[in-house]
Amino acid sequence: MSRAEVKFQIRDLNVHYGKAHALKSLSIDIYSNEILSIIGPSNSGKTSFLRSLNRLNDIEPNCRMTGAVLLDGKDIYRGISPEDLRKRVGMIFALPIPLPRSVYDNVAYGPRMAGIRNRKTLDVLVEESLTAAYLWDEVKDRLRSSALKLSGGQQQRLCIARSLALKPEVILFDEPCSGLDPISTGKVEESMMELQKNHTLVLVTNNTKQAARVGTRTAFFLMGELVEIDSTEKMFTAPIDGRTQDYIAGRFG
């Protein structure tokens, strides 16, 4: 595969929660416009890794970390505020979490917090974002009704739209389909493939088949360590490490 420009450079990253050593000297490059899938059994550090990319680990009082995370060559833990970082690096959580407000207000939340008050600008942003998340047609007539009334699949696409409204460069997906049925999962995956054109995506998933379907490259984490990373095709046909092979074949995890 072509060596595209590096979006995220992670160097020797260690994350501790209290006494638990969640990530062990991890080094990884994430390229622009790829979908990097991260697979691995639970407690392998996948989510900790994701949360160190948008500094969401900062809110855990007992979390310590060492090492460097560079976004476009700049250390995200120095010289950039967490707020500005999170506008560039969006996140989709495992369960769809619409805030208890209207569909419109959910999507406009990020831009409003960033200080955008102009009605027309917000209208345009909301429509664009919902369209990009394949949700506009389903909700355009009920933008003012509560987001809690949407179905689970629609809620997750709403969360994607909500992230997109900030025009992020990177989007982190933390097991985004774990609560969804196969059809909704298909729609979320479809929008991910579309988003790849203009964004860098990192997908943590417990579903190896999902990684195989959408990932440009796939990384296998085990016990806080990176076991192997390669193109998805290679990982699923000829992995080098025996543990990767076992996990993909469903022999543990």
Partner 1 sequence: MINEGTKEKVGFGILFLAAVLVVIPVLLIIWLIVSRGWSALSIEFLFTMPRDGMRAGGILPAIIGTFYLVMASIAFSLPIGVMAAIYLSEYARDNLVTRTINLAIINLAGVSSVVYGLFGLSLFVIFLRFGTSIISGALTLGIMTLPVIITTTREALRAVPKSYREVSLSLGATKWQTIRNSVLPPALPGILTGTVLSIGRVAGETAPILFTVAASYLPNLPRSPFDQAMALPYHLYIIATQIPGIREDYQYGTALVLVGLVLVINITAVIIRSRYRRRK
When asked if residue 77 is in the footprint of partner 1 (CB under 8 A), the reply is no
Q: How far is the CB of 192 from partner 1 (least distance, A)?
A: 17
Q: How far is the CB of 109 from partner 1 (least distance, A)?
A: 6
When asked if residue 101 is in the footprint of partner 1 (CB under 8 A), the reply is yes
Q: Which residue has the tokens 């696409």?
A: 157
Q: How far is the CB of 221 from partner 1 (least distance, A)?
A: 21
Q: Which is nearer to partner 1, 85 or 226 (CB)?
A: 85
The arrangement of strands across the sheet holding 170-174 comes to 89-92, 170-174, 200-204, 35-39, 217-222, 225-231
When asked if residue 86 is in the footprint of partner 1 (CB under 8 A), the reply is yes
Give the CA dihedral 250, 251, 252, 253, nearest 10 degrees.
0
Residue 249: left (phi > 0), alpha (psi -120 to 50), or beta?
alpha
Give the number of residues in contact with partner 1, rule: CB under 8 A. 27
Question: Residue 153 in contact with residue 135, Cβ under 8 Å?
Answer: no
Residues 6+ positions from 121 with CB-CB distance below 8 Å? 111
When asked if residue 1 is in the footprint of partner 1 (CB under 8 A), the reply is no
When asked if residue 59 is in the footprint of partner 1 (CB under 8 A), the reply is yes
Query: Which residues ranging from 178 to 207 are in contact with partner 1 (CB under 8 A)?
Result: none
Nearest to residue 39, comparing CAs of 29, 30, 31, 49? 49
Binding site for partner 1 (CB under 8 A): 54, 56, 59, 61, 82-84, 86-87, 90-91, 93, 95, 97, 99-102, 109-110, 113-114, 146, 159, 162-163, 166
